[in-house]
Amino acid sequence: MDEHLLTTIDNPYDPFDDFVRWFEFDELTGYRTCEKVAKLAKVYSGMSEEEIGNAIEKAMDTIVENDFTGLYRKVDRKRAKELVKIRLETPNFYEKLESNTLL
């Protein structure tokens, strides 16, 4: 199974390679993405690692499917790097994001 993480389109950090800064940004903006995933994932003691992984994947999918703002993205390592690159290379990224002319 490919590894996926949940991120937001405005977080400038890679959740795979720079998790601490990614997490700090996420918390400072009030998104609390990890907390949302944890609340939705149906994880119980005695579950196998595969079952836990599946529960987390399902929670991430639920967040993305119910995100009518377009804020959240479920990404693999390659897509996470692409999003960081877009943020870094796009002049006025945040202004374009706010005006809905990006992504």
3: pLDDT strictly greater than 80: yes
- pTM for the model: 0.83
pLDDT of residue 102: 54
Higher pLDDT, 103 or 88: 88
| Chain segment 40-99, per-residue pLDDT in tens | 999 999 999 999 999 999 999 999 999 998 899 999 999 999 888 887 787 777 676 666
Cα distance between residue 25 and residue 84, in whole Å: 13
Cβ proximity of 8 and 72 under 8 Å? yes
pLDDT of residue 84: 85
pLDDT of residue 91: 75
